[in-house]
Amino acid sequence: MTENRKMLVVYNTCGIKKDNTEWYIKCINSLLNQDFAGYHIVLSSCLNSPACFRRLYEVFGKKISYCYHVEPHTVNVTFNKTVQECVKEFGEFESYLYVDSGCLIEDENNFLKKIYESFKTNSYGILSVQTNTDTCFQVLDPTFINDCDTPQIVDKDYVIPVGKAINLHFSLFSGEIYNTYNKILPDVFAAYCSESTLSFVCASINQRWAIMKDLLVKHHKSIDGATLCVPHHSVVHQNHWNNLLYDRNALDFINDPEAFKGGLGYEECNNIMNHDPAAYDNNENALYREKLVEVIDKYLFLREKELNYDQIKIKFIPN
């Protein structure tokens, strides 16, 4: 397995609303049919039916690994837990690919190889691949559109400015993030807004978030439904941005001068917490990285007393 640790590919599904078993098979096959030495696929399944899980195992057997979550958790949590289980079993990977269940690679068997090569060459913290739907690219440039069947970013990777964000869908994360936080996705969020923190997570490890040039993934929007296990808006605060798990309050970090000093921002597209430009140099490198790591770890990742990952109930089948 040591030669297969360039990239862990995590295909994320959720059966709370319904199963999309045959679609999952098509998507996983598109991931398996890659000409790239050094990757391993794991299914991260949250509450898909036993029939769905059996069917996937019948089709793929030992070609992939399986992490079946038997309790409802956000996709940030299930993804993080699946990554942790794979690291325990196989060792750390250079990178971790988050794949939305709606994503399908069409007619391209060098897809993962191209992504990995750009990731390595440019030392990105996150490298996202363009999708044909639900991009949120308009926050980057008003000339971009949300749904487009051809790549909008061509010839050169697009480096996302600090404070900006897009939807993840198909995104490769640096192992440096895992090494720093022992998780990858900030997990305090009940539904929305976690993407708005990711440029700062990258800055905390002295890397950047970029969008891959020329490539496009077919994306079936919300095929499993969006963030189904928790309300999309806080019943306490009556908004989407202060909707955190375990009674966390976003105002705790929004109003913390140490978080602002470290360079943290949050949901800047809605002017909730704009970062301090003085915390970055002219190349948008964080000047106070240790402070930024400290505040991100404190405010954006759950503590063990809130959610002990070792106690999350799963069925893990390595392969």
Identify the pLDDT of residue 233: 64
Amino acid identity at 251: L
pLDDT in tens, 159-199: 999 999 999 999 999 999 999 999 999 999 998 999 999 99
Domains with residue ranges and CATH for the chain: 2-225+307-317 (3.90.550.10)
Q: How high does pLDDT run on average in the chain?
A: 95
Phi, psi of 174 (to 5 degrees): -70, 145
Identify the pLDDT of residue 225: 78
Identify the pLDDT of residue 239: 86
Identify the pLDDT of residue 244: 97
- Paired tokens of 132: 């044909």
For the chain, first and last CA: distance in Å?
11
Cα Rg of the chain, angstroms: 19
CB 312 within 8 A of CB 71: yes
pLDDT in tens, 68-80: 999 999 999 999 9
Give the C-alpha distances (Å, rounded to integers) separating 68 from 40, 44, 72, 197, 297. 17, 6, 11, 27, 27
pLDDT in tens, 25-60: 999 999 999 999 999 999 999 999 999 999 999 999
pLDDT classification of 308: cutoffs 50, 70, 90: very high
pLDDT classification of 275: cutoffs 50, 70, 90: very high
Q: What is the DSSP letter of 142?
A: T
pTM metric for this prediction: 0.96
If you average pLDDT over residues 206-218, what whole number do you get?
98
Identify the pLDDT of residue 236: 66
Q: What share of the chain is helix, strand, coil (3-state, %, to 5)?
A: 35, 20, 45
Instruction: Give the percent of the chain with pLDDT over 90.
Output: 92
